[in-house]
Amino acid sequence: MIKRLLELRKKMKLKKPSFVRQDAHKHLKLGTAWRARKGRHNKYRIRKKGSNPSPSYGSPSIVRGLHASGRKEVMVYKLSDIDSIDKDTEAARISASVGLKKRIYIIKHAEKQKIRVLNPGVHTLKAIRDESRKKSVKASAKKQDAKKEDIPVKKKAVAKDAKSKDKSKAKK
């Protein structure tokens, strides 16, 4: 049922006109954000000119405030906020004030608990990928270093054995 209502909301939003503040086209400093007309003789307020927003343009009350996925958005500021989220009905939205380091921890924690993060951020995902690549490169480098270290040690041991044999032969 919620999916149908979300689709209905999407269709309604497409039909809805953009309500712009009166005289926004004349004065740039006003901006386009909607403001109700308050003047006593205002023709727009009396509905003689143009259109005003009315309740008929609103979305169904059941899906009002929900994300397009049908989940309720929960703001996350710290790692412990993830624990209070219900993974079936809610999704996490990380606050803009959270830094990259903490954001990475939050995303990894959410993945473990299978909680959807609505705004992971491109830079964050790149950082996570880079971090995992660095770990894999370090691991492979350690393996290669271990192999390289084993080989010279054996050669030195063989060389020492050869020298000791040569000395013992020379003494005889």
- Listed as ranges, residues in the chain with pLDDT below 70 are 148-172
In this structure, the answer to whether residues 165 and 143 fall within a common structural domain is yes
Q: Which pLDDT does position 34 carry in this prediction?
A: 87
Residue 13 lies in a domain: no
Q: Which pLDDT does position 102 carry in this prediction?
A: 93
In this structure, the answer to whether residues 144 and 125 fall within a common structural domain is yes
Q: Which pLDDT does position 107 carry in this prediction?
A: 93
In this structure, the answer to whether residues 110 and 150 fall within a common structural domain is no
Residue 71 lies in a domain: yes
pLDDT digits (tens, 9 = 90+) for 6-22: 999 999 889 888 888 88
- For residue 22, the 8-state DSSP code is T
Q: Which pLDDT does position 139 carry in this prediction?
A: 75
- Count of C-beta atoms within a 10 Å radius of residue 91: 22
How far apart are the C-alpha atoms of 13 and 145, rounded to whole Å? 61
Residue 89 lies in a domain: yes
Q: How many domains is the chain built from?
A: 2
In this structure, the answer to whether residues 84 and 100 fall within a common structural domain is yes
In this structure, the answer to whether residues 111 and 132 fall within a common structural domain is no
pTM above 0.85, yes or no: no
